[in-house]
Amino acid sequence: MSKYAIGVDYGTQSGRAVLVSLENGKEIADHVTPYKHGVMDSILPHKEIKLGYEWALQHPQDYIEVIERSVPKVLEKSNIDPKDIVGLGIDFTACTMLPIDEVGVPLCFKDEHRDDPHSWVKLWKHHAAQKHANEINRIAEERGEKFIPRYGGKLSSEWMLAKAYQILEEAPYIYEEADKFVEATDWVIMQLSGTLLRNSCTAGYKAQWHKQDGYPNQEFFKAIDPKLEDLTETKLSGDVAPLGTSAGGLTKKMAEATGLKEGLPIAVGNVDAHAAVPALGVVEEGKMVMAMGTSICHMLLGTKEVEVEGMCGVVEDGIIPGLYGYEAGQSAVGDIFGWYVDHGVPKYIYDEAAANGRNVHQYLEEKASALKPGESGLLALDWWNGNRSVLVDTELSGMMLGYSLLTKPEEVYRALLEATAFGTRVIVDAFHEKGVAVNELYACGGLPQKNPLLMQIYADVTNRVIKVADSVQTPALGAAMFGAVAAGAENGGYDNILDAAEKMGRVRDEVFTPIPGNVKKYEKIYQEYIRLHDYFGRGENDVMKRLKQLRLDDEE
């Protein structure tokens, strides 16, 4: 009898359930549930309570609706007997965190707290804790904290510690009322299994937990604020479990809601991009996986712990057991292309695209493909949403250089594609120069299979072969694979992720190979990019930050 697993992929705007075969990783059925409340970045959902600049919140009930709607739909579409499903896993954006009470109820569900924005889920791209991240980084550097180099020298405003500190400073009542701060992925697993376990991936990359050393010491937190001294003993307390661990069996309540069998093994949570790595069959060093969508998360496996500038973290067993998992990232990629199409493309391009039976992205890609590297004379810095690696600075902003009265929309579009490729090149070079090999690139996510021009540009700019995932639901496939590991071979699953990857991980036959002439031309353009990158990004000219501060002054 064939066996199956379900992976649930929680993105920024929606969640997707995918039923996959354990024999070969093929997707049998999938279903998407858009979040009813989306991303809350201006007001709370129930009242006209305005949010501040760079806030990004979500409603935890939206996550449960994904389970309750999409899982029954994939069962219905596939006509698979639930008894043949051996496990379930999920992946999630991170750090997406929320405060809960002692029984796991989100504080935003309570009438007395729901009017306070700090009681809600803080989405990964909530950047309003930047000043708190700055203070954490300043004190960590002053004290010479040894954990900081593991995260490229700076902690991000997107991560757990900065968000927890923001809650303490701006909503001390919420901080005191919260029994714990948890990742949304761990909270959803708690709803499925009844057990709260912190998965080692999010704890390691987003909350600075270390397999040998644990969390940063209490003296460090006390130096930030005396009220933070016991943060890790209280608000961040709880067992940290390796990826693939079973959090327990599906509860009776959730079994009734989904149609799955009670007691179904549920894997501990995972991060979306990290779950994608074994889904491409990548389980060894020297191969970098790029999860490409609205942003890019770069994952790389190594055999030793090395300090690399601007990396988002290095965690032992963080992606694949027995290896060090490195993470870096770009905080906007597809978002930049979407912004340009939505706000910068003239009407005549829309008309021409419609007349040619194309959407605007497809039409611009076709026109941009006719251009040669350097032909437009344009060069951009890809910081529309700040810089995650290697500068780790959300206060940086985007820039386009070389406009003229002859500049065409497709030239701007291509320059934006190239800028994101240059950003990836900076990351690749940072690892390679520190002795962490990057021999091949693998790509998954929404962009690689939609935009071949983009992938060729990345191959040319990095001078590396790029392989593309065969699955269009790579994170969900990876989550399902970990669900199968949680079940174990004796229950029809797998005993480890290496065995699962061998059978279920897939890439396409087609690869993108660097074109020598393009490589040579892009090398010259990249050197100009690096000059601008360092000039605006390393403190020689902080005009981007000054302009942002003027905007904040006006809002205040």
Residue 75 has pLDDT above 60, yes or no: yes
CB of 397 closer than 8 Å to CB of 387 = no
At 317 the three-state DSSP class reads coil
**Which helix (H) or strand (E) covers residue 236, if one does?**
none
Please report, rounded to a whole number, the percentage of residues in the chain having pLDDT higher than 70. 99
CB of 410 closer than 8 Å to CB of 372 = no
At 334, phi and psi to the nearest 5? -60, -30
**Measured between alpha carbons, how far is 14 from 147 in angstroms, rounded to an integer?**
34
CB neighbourhood size of 259 (10 A): 14
Least confident span in 190-204, 293-307, 474-488, 491-505? 293-307
**Measured between alpha carbons, how far is 290 from 278 in angstroms, rounded to an integer?**
12
Residue type, 237: S
Q: How far is CA 73 from CA 32, 67, 76, 503, in A?
A: 9, 10, 5, 26
CB of 392 closer than 8 Å to CB of 152 = yes
| Of residues 366, 296, 295, the one with CA closest to residue 335 | 295
User: What was the pLDDT predicted at 285?
Assistant: 93
Rounded to an integer, what is the distance from CA 553 to the centroid of its chain? 31
User: What was the pLDDT predicted at 540?
Assistant: 97
Residue 556 has pLDDT above 80, yes or no: no
pLDDT per residue as tens digits for the range 115-144: 999 999 999 999 999 999 999 999 999 999
Provide the whole-model pTM. Answer: 0.90
User: What was the pLDDT predicted at 266?
Assistant: 98
Peptide linkage before 390 cis (omega within 30 of 0): yes
Find the distance separating the first CA and the last CA of the chain, reported in whole Å. 64
pLDDT per residue as tens digits for the range 491-542: 999 999 999 999 999 999 999 999 999 999 999 999 999 999 999 999 999 9
CB of 344 closer than 8 Å to CB of 412 = yes
pLDDT per residue as tens digits for the range 224-278: 999 999 999 999 999 999 999 999 999 999 999 999 999 999 999 999 999 999 9
b/e code 66-80 from CB counts within 10 Å (16+ = b): bbebbbbbbbeebeb
Q: What is the CA radius of gyration of the chain?
A: 23
Mean pLDDT computed over 97-106: 98
b/e code 490-503 from CB counts within 10 Å (16+ = b): eebbbeebbebbeb
Residue 315 has pLDDT above 90, yes or no: yes
Residue 554 has pLDDT above 70, yes or no: no
Half-sphere exposure of 140 (CA within 13 A, CB side): 24
User: What was the pLDDT predicted at 394?
Assistant: 84
CA angle centred on 236, ends 233 and 242, rounded to 5°: 110
User: What was the pLDDT predicted at 555?
Assistant: 59
User: What was the pLDDT predicted at 485?
Assistant: 98
Q: How confident is the model at residue 294 (pLDDT cuts 50, 70, 90)?
A: confident
Residue 401 has pLDDT above 90, yes or no: yes
**Measured between alpha carbons, how far is 204 from 159 in angstroms, rounded to an integer?**
11
User: What was the pLDDT predicted at 322?
Assistant: 85
pLDDT per residue as tens digits for the range 431-468: 999 999 999 999 998 899 899 999 999 999 999 999 99
**Which helix (H) or strand (E) covers residue 266, if one does?**
strand 265-267
